[in-house]
Chain A
Amino acid sequence: MVGSSRTAGYCFVALYVALLLLLGIAPVIYAIYLALSNSGGPSASFVDAFNDYRFVPAFEHILEFMALWLVSQTFLVVALVLMLHNLAQRIGAVFRFLFYIPGALAGAASVVVWLFMLDPTASPFGFILHWLGYAQFDNTVAPGNLPAIFAIMAFWTGAGGWIVVMYGALNNIPHELIEAAQIDGSNAFQTALRIKLPLIRKWVVYMLVLSFAGGTQLFVEPTVLGSAALGVGISKYWSPNQLAWFVASEYDNFNEAAAISLVLLVLGLMVAAVLVWRGRLFEVE
């Protein structure tokens, strides 16, 4: 009985395990092999990558982007979800829906939408851009503005989903707890700050960590923005992932590309491992 159940278990997971091995594990092993099998010795690919004059700027770019994005997203998502939770259920639902819709435009579509929004001549936000002193599209997408622009794009597509998730978490707070606080004289602001915020704190940490891992991978936004030739300030190796692709596609230097992608992979993997084994956010029984 147990024996047959065990065999059956293997059969049920077989196709998934095959995909996992072929498309999850094997590419990583092959990238490690490529990075280590450099004619200059096992560490040469990494030395090449770290000494590449484009390597440090690429990481500086995404660090600047992530500092802006993570700080503003954390603050704004928490503030918005606490405000929405104070509204009547139905009104709050309308706002959540409106905030959530941009999530459908992930990928190149959202970048194209923001190309329009950043063009002072056509944008509905044109008055703000003019007020900031930007009269033309190429003024807005000046190199110094790019980290902030990518932060706005990332916030626009991603924040709504997090608001929905955290609202769900807030709804799990027992009603009696909030009522008790109100009877004790706590106003809405104090209740939000002292009762609700601590109860969603781990979700905030989760959002922060996942966003950090995702942010290091930035690729679509600078690539698509770079297709608008007016945005002359953006290079083809603005972010680390772009740089990895650039050395692979332009120089056929698969060793250095593998080394850069492994650096990014280790960052993502560390974050994921910490969340799974230390965070206790997921059910593994």
Chain B
Amino acid sequence: MALPRPHAIRFVGVGILLFFTAFFFVPIIWLFLAPTKTDGQLLTESPFAFGSLSTLGHTFHRIVTYDGDSLLIWLKNSAIYSFGGTALAVLAAIPAGYGLALTQFIGRRALLSITLVVMIMPATALVLPLFLEINKLGLYGTIWSLILPFGFFPFGVYLAYIYFSSTIPKDLLAAARIDGANEWGVFRHIAVPLARPIIGLVAFFAFAASWNNFFLPFVMTYDNSQYPIQIGLQQLIGSTASFNPANYSAGSSIVVLHRPDLAMAVIIAIAPVLLVFLFAQRTLVAGMLAGATKE
């Protein structure tokens, strides 16, 4: 039986939780309501007021058609870099995790330790050395300058390693080998079919990491036709009147964006990752725990 707590403490506790709920969630609500309003309405109306669907339509149209179809180009680039990187990450990580968990070879423990160190080390620490190397190799400005680094995903290898070591009994593999299956056959016909959940998890984490990455494309791309959406967002800030008024003298021919347009661009930019966050929350949390709490 829990002892009844003093009401005062409970009251303070509820207050603190509500304060942090506002802190974490109000920015999200504001962001999703902003494109339904005009810039003027943003200043005069309640932050939580809904503008109108027709304003939302105009905002959407304005940002999608801004500067030719820049936004669509950035989204296409993001998709190429992220899907390319994710495919490579899965192709490398799933067999590697399997090999580390269920086969024996010289250097296996060393490889596992190096993987852990690189996984824990902030990925950004490698960006400048990577830029210097990619530059030297002559890959600067190509899609490989992003796809290859995105495909190198030690966290995925670790997740796959944990999964294979804890879900596939070694006896099962031994039985298959006695039945005459070779190593590749064992992997292909026993491990891969059982590995669907972990393939999805590794793919999502690799995709989210690539899609949200800013620093790497910031140094590796130099032209509007190459930018992914994260760099595009930064470009849009430069065209947003309230953040860069000096850029726009009266009568300038440059198309000026306003706060609701920028908010719409952010929503479009985060949509793919946010959707997975919303619909696969349970799986993702399980994955985070597997990656973090395995002891």
Contact = CB atoms under 8 A, between A and B. Distances in A.
B142 interface: no
A6 B130 contact: no
B30 interface: yes
B24 A12 contact: no
B98 A269 contact: no
Contact of B234 (A102, A106, A224): A224
Interface string A236-276: 00000100110011000010011011101101110111011
Given A116-B259, A121-B242, A248-B132, 6 more contacts: A11-B183, A80-B16, A100-B285, A109-B269, A224-B237, A282-B158
B116 A156 contact: no
Contact of A15 (B2, B92, B233, B294): B92
A30 B133 CA distance: 7
B104 interface: yes
A99 B20 contact: yes
B201 to A, nearest CB: 15
Contact of A16 (B157, B245, B246): B157
B293 A9 contact: no
Interface string B92-129: 11011011100111101101111111111110111111
A128 B237 CA distance: 24
A86 B5 CA distance: 12
Interface stretch (A41-49, A143-151, A160-168): A160-168
B11 interface: no
Nearest to B243: A228
B92 A16 contact: yes
Interface in A103-127: 103-109, 112-117, 119, 121-126
A198 interface: no
B214 interface: yes
A210 B295 contact: no
Interface of A is mostly: helix
A249 B286 CA distance: 42
Interface string A145-186: 000000000001001110011001100100000000010010
Given A123-B47, A230-B244, A269-B121, A117 B27 contact: yes
A31 B129 contact: yes
A109 B266 contact: yes
Nearest to A269: B121
Contacts of A109: 212, 230, 233, 266, 269-270
Interface in B126-168: 126-133, 136, 148-149, 151-152, 154, 157-158, 162, 165
Interface of B is mostly: helix
Contacts of B197: none
Interface string B180-219: 0011100100000000000000000000100011110011
Interface of A: 1-2, 4-13, 15-17, 19-20, 22-24, 26-28, 30-31, 34, 76, 79-80, 83-84, 86, 95, 97-109, 112-117, 119, 121-126, 137, 156, 159-161, 164-165, 168-169, 172, 182, 185, 187-189, 206, 210, 213-214, 216-217, 219-220, 223-224, 227-230, 241, 244-245, 248-249, 254, 257-258, 260-262, 264-265, 267-269, 271-273, 275-277, 280-285
B148 A19 contact: yes
B25 A228 contact: no
Contacts of A95: 17, 21
Contacts of A123: 30, 47
Residue with the greatest number of chain A CB neighbours at <10 A, chosen from B108, B116, B208: B116
Interface of B: 1-3, 5, 9, 13, 16-17, 20-21, 23-31, 34, 42-43, 47-48, 88, 91-93, 95-96, 98-100, 103-106, 108-109, 111-122, 124-133, 136, 148-149, 151-152, 154, 157-158, 162, 165, 177, 182-184, 187, 208, 212-215, 218-219, 230-231, 233-234, 237-238, 240, 242-247, 259, 262-263, 266, 269-270, 273-274, 277-278, 281, 285, 288-289, 292-295
A124 B42 CA distance: 10
Given A12-B187, A19-B152, A80 B104 contact: no
A12 B245 contact: no
Q: List 9 tightest A-B contacts by C-beta distance, closest first.
A: A12-B99, A8-B183, A9-B105, A124-B47, A9-B103, A27-B129, A16-B96, A107-B212, A261-B128
